[in-house]
Structure 1
Amino acid sequence: MSNPYREIFRAPGAKGFAAAGFIARLPIAMAPIGIVAMLSQTHGEYWLAGAVSATYALTNAFLAPQISRLVDRAGQTAVVAPATAVSVIAFVLLIVAANQDWPVWTLFVSALLAAAMPSIPAMVRARWTEIFRDRPELYTAFAFESVADELVYIAGASLSVGLSVALFPEAGMLASTLFLAAGTAAFILQRSTEPRLRQSANGSGGSAIRFRPVQIITLALIFVGVIFATAEVSTVAMTKELGQPGAASLVIGVYALGSFILGLIVGALNLTMPLPRRLVISVAAIALTTVPLLFADTVQLLAVTVFISGLAISPTFITAFGLIERRVPESMLTEGITWVMTGIGIGMALGAFAAGWVVDAFGARSGFWVSVVAGFASLLTVLLGQRSLAGGRQEMPREALAQPAE
Structure 2
Amino acid sequence: MTSPYRAIYRTPGAMAFSVAGLVGRMPLSMLGIGIVTMVSQVTGRYGLAGALSATLALSGAVTGPRVSRMVDRYGQRRVLRPVCAVTVVSVAGLLVCTWAGAPDWAYFVCVLGAGTTPSTGAMVRSRWSEILRGTPEKLHTAYSVEAVVDEIVFIVGPILSVGLSTGWFAEAGPLLATVFLAAGVLALTALRSTEPVPHPDAHRSAGSVLAAPGLAVLVGVFVGTGAVFGAVEVVTVAFADERGHKALASVVLATYALGSCVAGVVFGLTRPRGTVAGRFRLGIVLMGVSMIPPLLIGNLFFLALALFFSGLTIAPTMVNAMGLVEQLVPRGRLTEGITWTSTGLAVGVAAGAALAGRVIDAHGARAAFWVGTAAAVFAAAAAFLGYRRLRPAPDREEQDHDGADRSSTQDHQRHLGTLEGEGVA
TM-score w.r.t. length of structure 2:
0.91
Q: Aligned-pair distance for 1:326?
A: 1.0
The separation in 1 between residues aligned to 2:212 and 2:77, in whole angstroms, is 26
CA distance in 1, matches of 2:158, 2:274: 35
Equivalent in the alignment of 1:322: 323
For residues 244 and 118 of structure 1, the distance between their equivalents in structure 2, rounded to whole angstroms, comes to 36
Q: Distance in 1 between matches of 2:203 and 2:65?
A: 20
CA drift of 1:117 comes to 1.2
Q: Is the 8 A contact 2:73 2:202 kept in 1?
A: no
Mapping of residues 89-238 of structure 1, within 5 Å? 89-135=89-135, 136-198=137-199, 204-238=205-239
1:343-393 Cα offsets, whole Å, 9 max, x none, are 11111100110000011111110111011111111111111111111x222
* Equivalent residue number for residue 84 of structure 1: 84
Q: Hey, what's the Cα distance between the residues in 2 that align with 1:202 and 1:259?
A: 36
Contact 1:239–1:247 under 8 Å retained in 2: yes
- The alignment's C-alpha RMSD in Å is 1.5
Q: Deviations over 1:61-84 (max 9, x none)?
A: 110001101111111111111100
Amino acid at match of 2:388: R
Amino acid across the alignment from 2:341: V
Q: Secondary structure at the match of 2:207?
A: coil
Residues 103-157 of structure 1: per-residue CA shift (max 9 Å, x gap) = 2211110001111111110000010000012312111111100110111111111
TM alignment of 1:237-256, pairs within 5 A: 237-256=238-257
The aligned amino acid for 1:302 is L
Deviation at 1:250, TM superposition (A): 0.7
Give 1:243 shift.
2.2
Aligned to 1:10: 10
1:94 is paired with a residue whose SS is helix
- The answer to whether the 8 Å contact 1:293/1:305 transfers is yes
Moved more, 194-203 or 359-368: 194-203
Match of 1:298 in 2: 299
Q: Which moved more, 1:199-208 or 1:102-111?
A: 199-208
- CA offset at residue 327 of structure 1? 1.4
Q: Is the 8 A contact 1:211 1:394 kept in 2?
A: no
Question: What residue in structure 2 maps to residue 384 of structure 1?
Answer: 385
Letter matched to residue 112 of structure 1: L
> CA 1:341–1:202 in structure 2 vs 1: closer, same or farther (change >3 Å)?
closer
Q: How far apart in 1 are the matches of 2:360 and 2:29?
A: 24
Amino acid at match of 1:182: A
Kindly tell me: are residues 202 and 171 of structure 1, through their superposed partners in 2, closer, same or farther at Cα, counting changes over 3 Å?
A: closer
Evaluate the alpha carbon distance shift between residue 202 and residue 192 of structure 1 in structure 2; reply closer, same or farther with a 3 A threshold: closer
d(CA) in 1 for partners of 2:362, 2:100: 39
- Alignment correspondent of 2:75: 75
* 1:236 aligned counterpart, secondary structure: helix
Structure 2 Cα separation of the partners of residues 316 and 49 of structure 1: 33
Task: State the distance in 1 between where 2:392 and 2:107 align.
Answer: 46
TM-score when scaled to structure 1? Answer: 0.95
CA contact (8 A) 1:209 1:336 kept: yes
Q: Which moved more, 1:299-308 or 1:331-340?
A: 299-308
CA 204–123 in structure 1, closer or farther in 2 if over 3 Å, else same: farther
Return the letter of the residue paired with 2:8.
Answer: I
Query: How many correspondences in the alignment?
Result: 395
Q: Which residue of 2 aligns with 1:404?
A: none
Equivalent AA in structure 2 for residue 356 of structure 1: G
Corresponding residue of 2:367: 366
1:304 to 1:181, Cα distance in 2 relative to 1, 3 A: same
Q: Is contact 2:227–2:348 with CA below 8 Å preserved after alignment?
A: yes
Task: Identify the residue that residue 420 of structure 2 maps to in structure 1.
Answer: none
SS in 2 for 1:197: coil
1:247-288 CA distances to partner (integer Å, 9 max, x unpaired)? 211100001000110011111111121111101110000000
How far did 1:203 drift? Answer: 5.4
The amino acid of 1:149's aligned partner reads D
8 Å contact from structure 2 (residues 36, 46) kept in 1: yes
Distance 1:85 1:392 in 2: 36
What's the CA shift for 1:27? 0.4
In structure 2, C-alpha distance between the alignment counterparts of 1:388 and 1:199, rounded to whole Å: 27
SS of the residue corresponding to residue 26 of structure 2 reads helix
Distance 2:234 2:356 in 1: 7
Asked if the contact 1:59–1:112 (Cα under 8 Å) also holds between the matched residues in 2, the reply is yes
CA gap 1:202/1:147 in 2 versus in 1, 3 angstroms: closer
Contact residue 74 and residue 199 of structure 2 kept, 8 A:
no
Write out aligned runs for 1:333-352 (5 A): 333-352=334-353
- Map of 2:271 onto structure 1: 270
